[in-house]
Amino acid sequence: MILEKTCPRCGAVVEIYRNPFPTTDIIVVRAGRVLLIRRAAPPEGWALPGGFIDYGESAETAARRELEEETSLHARSLSLLGVYSEPGRDPRFHTLTVVYVAEADGEPQAGDDAADARWFSLDQLPREIAFDHRRIIEDAARRIKG
């Protein structure tokens, strides 16, 4: 979508492009449990570790960085689950996320914008899950069960 605005200084018409914000999420499943973080900022709820892809950063690098920042865990065996881009998936603005499945050793420690980090059974997920992460977890569970 392109919007046009007139520059107040020179009067030229300037095109403003509105594109989705690129994000990434990472799913770590271990022994039938998925790692979730409790968001410290709105929108509230439990979520997959993840966040915005920085300029000049690959989606894979961003996924690894976000996992480490939010849980202190280091991802290995990264594989692509899919891309989720439904315009209403984030109530703040239109985002698209590149989702990876990974393995990680150790126990999580909440950091950055995560108030908590915990393992949840795939059969007993918390009620309050942010964004479309419940759907993403269900997609990953079907893939893992194969």
92 is a domain residue: yes
60 is a domain residue: yes
Output the pLDDT for position 144. Answer: 82
6 is a domain residue: no
51 is a domain residue: yes
Output the pLDDT for position 146. Answer: 64
80 is a domain residue: yes
CATH number of 129's domain: 3.90.79.10
**Cβ distance 62 to 24 under 8 Å?**
yes
**Cβ distance 83 to 36 under 8 Å?**
no
Give residue-wise pLDDT tens across range 16-26.
888 999 999 99
134 is a domain residue: yes
Give residue-wise pLDDT tens across range 16-52.
888 999 999 999 999 999 999 999 999 999 999 999 9
Instruction: Please give the tally of structural domains in the chain.
Output: 1
Q: What is the chain's length?
A: 146
Residue 65: give the domain boundaries.
20-145
Give residue-wise pLDDT tens across range 82-139.
999 999 999 999 999 999 999 999 999 999 889 999 999 999 999 999 999 999 999 9
